[in-house]
Amino acid sequence: MMVFVAGTGWSVLGFNRGLQSYDYTYQVMHKEPYLYIHKAQYGFMGILLYMNPLLLPLTLYKEMYRLEVNLRGLEEEKKTDYYNHLC
């Protein structure tokens, strides 16, 4: 049961990170119209990236990086490409 809850939470986090990545990409690029289907696609790509066991070290590192940025209040770092992209 605990594995199911952890897996569900991790996949929801991946979906959310994908949505955030699309919003950031749209703000920076503005080359195409804002489409919810593209946003959903980024969300599902986030699930695939976060649920892939081979990419677990990368996603864990990225989440620890984001945690440190938030805990230390590094607001300028939150505006960078590295912080906002999935990987």
pLDDT tens per residue across span 51-76? 999 999 999 999 999 999 999 999 99
The domains of the chain are located at 2-84
Residue 32: the pLDDT is 86
pLDDT band at 29 (very low <50, low <70, confident <90, very high): confident
pTM of the predicted structure, to 2 decimals = 0.89
User: 59: buried, middle or exposed (CB in 10 Å: 19+, 13-18, 0-12)?
Assistant: buried
Residue 78 token pair: 């939150």
pLDDT score of 38 more than 90: yes
